[in-house]
Amino acid sequence: MADNRWLVRSLLTIGLILLGLPAVATAQEAPTVSGQVKTSVGGTPLVGVIVSAPSLKVQATTDNGGNYRLVLPAGTTGPLTLTARLIGYQTGTVQITVSGPSVQQDIALQEAAIELQQVVVTALGIEREQRSLSYSAQTLDGNRLSDVRSNNVISSLQGKVAGVQVTNSANPFGSARIIVRGASSILGQNQPLIIVDGVPIDNAAASNEGYGPGGSYSAGTSLGGYDVGNAASDINADNIASVTVLKGPNAAALYGSRAANGAIVYTTKSGKGSANTGFGVTATFGATTETPLRLPQYQNQYGQGFYGEFDFVDGNFHGKNDGADESWGPKLDGRSTGCVRVASDTLLQIGVPAVYDASHPCNQFFGVGPWSAHPNNVRDFWNTGLLINANIAVARASDRSNVRLSVGRTDENGMYPNNENRRTDIALAGGTQMSDHWSAEASVNYINDGMKNQPAQAYEEIDPMQNFIWFGRQVDTRILKDNLYRDPSDPLTQRILAGVPGQRTDAPIQYSWNYSYHANPYWMAGVKTTDYSRNRGLGHASVTYKVNDWISVTGRSGRDWYQNHFRANYPVNDISPFNGGGLLDVGETRSEINNDFLVTANRQLTPTLALTVNAGGNERKNDFNNNISQVGLLSVPGVYTVSNSDGQPYTALLLSHKKVNSLYGSANFNYKDWLSVDVTGRNDWSSTLPKGANSLFYPSIGAAFVFTDALGLQTSWLSYGKLRASWTRVGNDTDPYQLAAIYGCSPWGGRPTCTAADRLPTPNLKPEQTTGEEIGADLGFLRDRVILNATIYQKSTTDQILPVSVSAATGYTQKVVNSGEVRNRGIELAATVTPIDKGTFRWNAVVNWAKNSNEVISLYGGVSRVVVGSFWNVNVTADVGQPYGNLVGYKWQRDAQGHILVDETGSYAGLPRTDPTQQVLGNYNPDWVGGITNSFTYKSFNLSFSIDGQYGGQVYSVTKWFGQYSGVLANTLAGRELDWNNPGYIVPNAVYDNGQADTTHVLAQDYWHNTFYAQEPGIFDATYFKLRELRLGYTLPASVSRFIGFSDASVAIIGRNLFLWAKQSMIDPETAFDTGNRQGVENGQLPTARSIGITMSVRP
């Protein structure tokens, strides 16, 4: 380890010595070069393009009209090469001849999603040419994120970057999980680091066990089933200039212990290139409507009850099956009487018609009425949502300074009744060249989020879709909407009060369809309330001193700070989760401070060899403060305070502090601009590791070879070719307080009581280590009309931080060890194709495809399985020799030929038997992911659409599993096509023990109830493809734009999540409870929003 550090330090020192002394120029008359930079198609002026003469080390930035002016050194004459660089465009190069005091030269830049000559922002905010990179990095222009907006900028990356998988929550303003090149850590962090303007920001999100409030809490991570988004969703897409995905550890090596999962680097807009007289104004406005993309397919032939009977008395089993929350009741044929059988008809027989009591009315939760289906009772619950967003930015720039102020606002009235979400964003950024040596830049961003009456996703009544899994298909939700409270004097209400213990008369009685388990979904959306707010400030300031024309020193300080507060108030008579009323109150404060210095040196050592050296250091401080209070019973209705708790409330407090100091450096040797060699090293000293053993070194090395330039191989069909390869070793840091015993304190008998954790501390803990290798090629064909990027990679993560069981005689049940290895191997392909580029018409297509293969190589000792998480009898596991993310549960027992075994006789005759051994039911990782974006431009019109998805992988859907058990789903009509007991169900592909085919008919209710004992019926193929984005835009004629006072104005029709194709029709396979590692399980999925709307934008 020490030898490696010495080697890299020596390389950096030698590099600095080799840089030499700058040359001195003589003073003569200074010529100028000026012109305009436009897009190659449409001729739109480009703002913020850096135009430079590399050989003279001078540059300028285009203004709002795309104009630039270069002042050359005095005495410059003869041939000169100009380059024009803008993130999101291929670098343009033109040759000019300086022969007088001024030269006029316009430049056209070509836009593409995957470029060969593009400028990209890499680790530590360093800008580099794409051709010199030894690793895979993909950059998107900010417009790719804002043209068809999502409320989460992480979601906007889906399908646009090869090797990136994004899983979106369906919650309004919900979270998005992003994984680059597969999961590497069994129980640790698997998401990439998020960087904004060179400063890391927090991307935490609430965890969700899936069972709602009242369960166990992990302090600092749970909101009882509610999803308020991942922290990076605060970034306003309108403020993003570009985003670069540093794929995997190789690209992110300079981030050391945070580099294992790659990094997402956002660069925000500044005032560069803006108007230099007055202030330039840019404004955008959008409005979209939201409707459910997909809901489960429900049956509409049978209503509430069991075995064909139902009679409501009090909704708590004092009437015939009236406490049932399933739909195995009478046929929905419009009858008003005869929903129960006569007393003498007691046999449950296949195919024998039931004898109903025609004199007995069909009593329901609202009284007597027709026993009829309401096919749209779930869809009608969801409103048409409305999302409005607006952003206005003012900017000004001069030759030596720039400033930009942006104000954004998003308002959403969600599909969930009474749901309102608001976000306000204020961003200020600027820079100044104070002298020839001193420059400074800074930015500050304030975000305020507010969310009211959010729906949850959990096995609880706070999730409306969970309510509809256990439901009566005859229930008219319009009645529930119009009636939230029961009339206390009504006889039916009196029966309910008498028959339902726990209903309190000192508070309103809710109007529900069931009083044994379920609340009125409109009560949960309007009487029960939630309120969430986040105040966030993030920003940075930096000062750069240019020592001479080849060396500079930068100091930077940045901070990300935010404070969250979540409150849920549950009224008395809530039925579930807190019938006696209650509350959940969660507050947290997070802060990360980064202080950096960076010395950068660029020097042409010889006419053919250039050297770039970066050396610097970082101090990082993380602070976290969290508190939770939960009350499960209110003493006085309507008073939502902890002091109003009838009994001991649950409280928890967590404080966490962490500090990491780092030194790092990189050296890039560039030979003739076709061979580039990178060497980097970083050393981290972490407070979470043992003293004396907290120093860890992370090296990397890579090379890029542009063989078409080196070997002169450019032809009409091969215009560009580059090979690249890199190797690195980085880390995945651990959390604080893993080295010593932590005591938890809670009241007991009115006195504080503290207990030791059941996990044995590990004083010699190490962070996880990831070693990554990759090779790749970037190729351009047919004068770059076809561009192909291909990468093959492998990364292995060792020293996994795992809990293992120990003897209880030690006083502990677990200890934490460093052991185990997970390996990811994969291939990424990205292509940009321009089939047509003729004057006013251009067609461009971008395709991304990636396949990742994952394997758990080893665990600890004789351990063969680690449970990552679980939900309703299915474990998500890491199994030795198998892919990470197995779904493990129970299957039906089968014979050697794969037939399901059923009993031939007895009370379980004709029903499948459960295999007593848990087995792998599937794996949540897809076989491959991909996306394609087509863009068409014709004169002032532009059309683009994106399709993305995944092939393979499985999901354990509790919506399906329990929806079949409860009889609400359409597929449960099998076996009751004629009546509730006719014709009966024969298990497909089933045999008796003797091998003979199963011919036994069973009641549909009995068969589907029997599926509770195996999770196999809840597993389905997660393959899906979505029409993710659609945009049809029109740019107004210049004369019209100028008439209304702007240089550019456009309008567009947009759509998002317009169409879903999946191998199953139950739910959206793109599903998640949270952003953690327990993926591939689902229950009560909230409907994904299909959005359609318009946007308008203007520029000065």
Least confident of 18-32, 701-715, 1051-1065: 18-32
Model confidence over 151-174: pLDDT tens digits?
Answer: 899 999 999 999 999 999 888 889
pLDDT of residue 279: 75
Angle at 452 between CA 450 and CA 458, to 5 degrees: 115
Residue 673 in contact with residue 706, Cβ under 8 Å? Answer: yes
Give the residue carrying structure tokens 């397919």.
297
pLDDT of residue 18: 33
What mean pLDDT is reported for the chain? Answer: 90
pLDDT of residue 61: 78
Q: Looking at the structure, tell me whether residues 907 and 1052 fall in a common domain.
A: no
DSSP conformation letters of 1016-1041: GGGEEE--EEEEEEEEEEEEPPHHHH
Q: Looking at the structure, tell me whether residues 903 and 763 fall in a common domain.
A: no
Model confidence over 238-281: pLDDT tens digits?
Answer: 999 999 999 988 888 888 888 889 999 999 998 876 766 667 78
Residue 601: CA count within 13 A, CB half-sphere: 24
Angle at 865 between CA 926 and CA 858, to 5 degrees: 85
Q: How many domains does the chain divide into?
A: 3
Residue 85's pLDDT band (cuts 50, 70, 90)? confident
Percent of the chain exceeding pLDDT 70 equals 94
End of a domain among 111, 128, 148? Answer: 111
Give the residue carrying structure tokens 């800008």.
127
Q: What mean pLDDT do residues 283-302 have?
A: 97
Euclidean distance between the first and the last CA atom of the chain, given in angstroms as a whole number:
57
Residue 657's pLDDT band (cuts 50, 70, 90)? very high
Q: Looking at the structure, tell me whether residues 990 and 1093 fall in a common domain.
A: no
pLDDT of residue 5: 45
Q: Looking at the structure, tell me whether residues 1036 and 970 fall in a common domain.
A: no
Residue 727 in contact with residue 700, Cβ under 8 Å? Answer: yes
Q: What mean pLDDT do residues 735-757 have?
A: 75
- The enclosing H or E element of 816 equals strand 814-818
The structure tokens listed for 370 are: 């027709």
Q: Partners of 554 in the beta sheet?
A: 544, 598
Note down the domain range covering 722. 231-292+385-459+525-741+755-885+924-953+1022-1099
Residue 196 is assigned to a structural domain of this protein: no
Model confidence over 456-488: pLDDT tens digits?
Answer: 999 999 999 999 999 999 999 999 999 999 999
CATH code at 88? Answer: 2.60.40.1120
pLDDT of residue 42: 61
Q: Partners of 1092 in the beta sheet?
A: 289, 1055
d(CA 798, CA 188): 12
Residue 945 is assigned to a structural domain of this protein: yes
Q: Looking at the structure, tell me whether residues 967 and 1087 fall in a common domain.
A: no
Percent of the chain exceeding pLDDT 90 equals 72
Q: Looking at the structure, tell me whether residues 596 and 684 fall in a common domain.
A: yes
Model confidence over 629-649: pLDDT tens digits?
Answer: 999 999 999 999 999 999 989
d(CA 819, CA 436): 54
748 contact partners, CB below 8 Å, separation of at least 6: none
pLDDT of residue 520: 96
Q: Looking at the structure, tell me whether residues 551 and 602 fall in a common domain.
A: yes
Model confidence over 781-790: pLDDT tens digits?
Answer: 998 899 999 9
Residue 470 in contact with residue 461, Cβ under 8 Å? Answer: no
- The enclosing H or E element of 145 equals helix 143-146
Q: Does the structure show a pLDDT above 60 at 515? A: yes
Least confident of 13-22, 175-184, 874-883, 1065-1074: 13-22
Least confident of 120-129, 473-482, 843-852: 120-129
pLDDT of residue 363: 97
CATH code at 619? Answer: 2.40.170.20
d(CA 158, CA 243): 13
Model confidence over 400-440: pLDDT tens digits?
Answer: 889 999 999 999 999 999 999 999 999 999 999 998 899 99
Q: Looking at the structure, tell me whether residues 1068 and 1000 fall in a common domain.
A: no
pLDDT of residue 19: 35
End of a domain among 95, 111, 127? Answer: 111
Closest Cα partner for 171 from 416, 386, 533, 466? Answer: 416
Residue 102 is assigned to a structural domain of this protein: yes
Least confident of 489-503, 745-759, 986-1000, 1010-1024: 745-759
Model confidence over 601-621: pLDDT tens digits?
Answer: 999 999 899 999 999 999 999
The structure tokens listed for 865 are: 């399985």
Q: Does the structure show a pLDDT above 80 at 397? A: yes
The structure tokens listed for 671 are: 């030979």
Q: Looking at the structure, tell me whether residues 994 and 1083 fall in a common domain.
A: no
Residue 1046 is assigned to a structural domain of this protein: yes
DSSP conformation letters of 187-224: SS--SPEEEETTEEE-----B--SS-TTS---TTTB-T
Residue 363 is assigned to a structural domain of this protein: no
Least confident of 36-45, 82-91, 107-116, 514-523: 107-116
Residue 64's pLDDT band (cuts 50, 70, 90)? low
Least confident of 169-173, 343-347, 579-583, 923-927: 169-173
Give the residue carrying structure tokens 């004369």.
1039
The structure tokens listed for 1000 are: 């036994």
Closest Cα partner for 869 from 882, 855, 880, 885? Answer: 885
Residue 817 is assigned to a structural domain of this protein: yes
Helix, coil or strand: residue 1090: strand
Q: What mean pLDDT do residues 1025-1040 have?
A: 94
Residue 11 is assigned to a structural domain of this protein: yes
pLDDT of residue 275: 63
Q: Does the structure show a pLDDT above 50 at 200? A: yes
Residue 464 in contact with residue 521, Cβ under 8 Å? Answer: yes
Q: Does the structure show a pLDDT above 80 at 91? A: no
Q: Which residue has the higher pLDDT, 689 or 177?
A: 177
Sign of CA dihedral 803, 624, 252, 165: positive
pLDDT of residue 87: 67
pLDDT of residue 60: 80
699 contact partners, CB below 8 Å, separation of at least 6: 4, 8, 253, 679, 680, 681, 682, 728, 729
Sign of CA dihedral 1062, 1068, 1072, 1075: positive
Residue 217's pLDDT band (cuts 50, 70, 90)? very low
Q: Partners of 872 in the beta sheet?
A: none
pLDDT of residue 580: 94
Q: Looking at the structure, tell me whether residues 762 and 874 fall in a common domain.
A: yes
Q: Does the structure show a pLDDT above 60 at 517? A: yes
pLDDT of residue 67: 85
Residue 902 in contact with residue 914, Cβ under 8 Å? Answer: no
Q: Looking at the structure, tell me whether residues 1017 and 870 fall in a common domain.
A: no
pLDDT of residue 12: 40
End of a domain among 111, 144, 159? Answer: 111
Q: What mean pLDDT do residues 886-901 have?
A: 97
The structure tokens listed for 745 are: 């304190």
The b-or-e profile of 921-952 (16+ CB within 10 A means b, else e) is: bbbbbbebbbbbbbbbbeeeebbbbbbbbbbb
Q: Find the farthest-apart pair of alpha carbons in the chain and give their distance in angstroms, rounded.
A: 115
Residue 88's pLDDT band (cuts 50, 70, 90)? low
Closest Cα partner for 378 from 543, 242, 522? Answer: 522
Closest Cα partner for 926 from 1065, 1080, 742? Answer: 1080
Q: Looking at the structure, tell me whether residues 909 and 784 fall in a common domain.
A: no
Residue 692 is assigned to a structural domain of this protein: yes
d(CA 83, CA 91): 7
Q: Does the structure show a pLDDT above 50 at 289? A: yes
